[in-house]
Chains A and B, each alone.
Chain A
Amino acid sequence: MIRVENLVRTFGEFTAVNNISFEVQQGEIFAFLGPNGAGKTTTIKMLTTLLQPTAGRIELDGLDPAKQQKDARKRFGIVFQDPSLDSEQTAYENMELHGILYHVPRKLRAERIERLLKQFELWDRRDDFVKQFSGGMKRRLEIARGLLHTPKILFLDEPTLGLDPQSRNQLWTHVKKMNETEKTTVFLTTHYMDEADRVAHRIAIIDHGRIIAQGTAADLKESTGTESLEGAFLALTGESIRDESASSVDAMRNVAKMLGR
């Protein structure tokens, strides 16, 4: 369903995604794990037509998202890591707008919006402006919105970031159900190893833009001789924190932005 070959993305001198290759089968739940700044979001952006690859090939359901953009977009849904709601509109209006953009027929749209807003306990707040929501409520709305249409491929970029345990449970239950009943292919990233361990069929670990390991959770534990996925992750990626380089890159990124690049 997803095939990536020798994918590269550079930002100026910096290589964020460095020659990665992987495949995700139809109906598979695939977790993409890695420390901060590893290149997960950059990869998702290239898979979802938001960013052009520097080099390499991508196939989404047989389509090239860099060229057949609109057709490729029909195949997937996405929950972004960063906020993407319209804070000047109400929760319901945000859902409605999404439903229209994704061509969900009116009647079905109303039904699903109600069901999802109830499921994520936002139904009572549906007519409130998103700017008045708490961080977690916004996150819940992003997720409810992402599940409104039923795509072939679902991208979830750290969907549980900032969510309470109840909502996390709701999310993963829903995602697993979609995966089982509709054979939705799921591509997810998370920093909670227990979630990946629980839901993912297969896992790839990316660090400094390179994939350093792939396999089932059991494979990864076995090859590193560790008890938990967290242990395996740390064994593979080391103990050091990755933010030093990211901050200097961020500074550079700001300068580049100011120069309009």
Chain B
Amino acid sequence: METVYILWLRELKRYTRSRVQIITSLGQPVLYLVALGFGLGPVFQRAGNGSYLQFIAPGVIAMSVLFMCIFSGISILWDRQFGFLKETLVAPVSRMQIMVGRTLGAATVAMTQGLLVFVVCLIIGFRPHSWAALPQAAVFVALVAINFAALGTAFGSIIKDMQGFPLVMNFVAMPMFFLSGALFPLWGLPKALAVVTHIDPLSYGIDGLRGALTGAWYFSFTHDFAVLVLVAAGFLLLGSYFFSKIQM
């Protein structure tokens, strides 16, 4: 237990100690909110869909959680490069504990980041339809964080050096984000795109978060929740499997 805790704490320390990075990492969400939220707002409104800022804010929050998770997962690569990974791998604790500590740490960091972006959304003008729904929103942020922290761990364990990082960003994280309904409604999509969005687990996270925050669901609470829990279990298994197979 102490092992899980100390590795969880390490991830948190790493995050809170890099204040500059925290500030700069808010730049991208702000850009999305301002450029898309206000830029595409009029078009969205004219199409009869209401406020675009209200629509994408949950998507942008989920995006920052997703990217934070992938970054943290990839930090296994840094630890491999700088050697610290070896130190944990020869310790007399199970790889499972190490993996869980790291993954929970990454998820906690990502949730904190999500909270910060939520505050940014509020500042820019986003309003949740009901403050009472915030706990529900937190549930979905946590689920998204755990899902993708586990997936990040899996990728961090498979990839052996830094060249692999852009690969994961461009071929996994970015497509997951763009094909998730973060930026567009899932109604009336072309067949192929509709299929892809239904496969993308992030779609369910975003739908859940958006449902909780704005009251507009595409699937439903139970549907989103069930899918995310199932997929999280799968990703956690995958992550711990690949982590247990790491050789130096």
Contact = CB atoms under 8 A, between A and B. Distances in A.
Nearest to B159: A260
Interface of A: 45, 48-52, 70, 73-74, 76, 78, 80, 82-89, 93, 96-98, 100-103, 257-258, 260
B246 to A, nearest CB: 9
Contacts of B17: 88
A70 B94 contact: yes
B92 A51 contact: no
Given A50-B89, A73-B92, 9 more contacts: A49-B90, A73-B93, A74-B92, A76-B90, A82-B86, A86-B87, A88-B17, A97-B6, A257-B161
A85 B90 CA distance: 13
5 contacts: A45-B248, A51-B247, A82-B86, A84-B86, A101-B87
Contact of B90 (A73, A82, A86, A93): A73
Contacts, number: 77
Interface string B93-108: 1100000000000000
B93 A70 contact: yes
A233 to B, nearest CB: 28
B220 interface: no
Contact of B248 (A50, A87, A96): A50
B10 interface: yes
Contacts of A101: 3, 6, 87-88, 91-93
Contact of A97 (B10, B82, B163): B10
B168 to A, nearest CB: 11
Given A100-B2, A260-B158, A73 B91 contact: yes
Interface of B: 2-3, 6, 10, 13-14, 17, 79, 82-84, 86-94, 158-161, 163-164, 247-248
B28 to A, nearest CB: 23
A82 B160 contact: no
B91 A260 contact: no
Contacts of A93: 13
B84 A84 contact: yes
Contacts of A45: 248
Given A88-B14, A101-B93, A80 B86 contact: yes
B15 to A, nearest CB: 10
Contacts of B161: 257-258
Nearest to B75: A88
Contact of B10 (A50, A70, A82, A89): A89
B84 A102 contact: no
Q: What 9 A-B pairs come out closest when comparing CB atoms?
A: A101-B91, A84-B83, A74-B92, A73-B92, A50-B248, A84-B87, A83-B83, A86-B84, A100-B6
B92 A103 contact: yes
Nearest to B7: A97
Contacts of A50: 86, 89-90, 247-248
A83 B86 CA distance: 9
A130 B98 CA distance: 22
A78 B84 contact: no
A237 to B, nearest CB: 26
A7 to B, nearest CB: 16
Contacts of A260: 158-160, 164
A165 B199 CA distance: 62
Nearest to A50: B248
Nearest to B2: A100
A158 B93 CA distance: 25
A78 B88 CA distance: 11
B233 to A, nearest CB: 24
B112 to A, nearest CB: 17
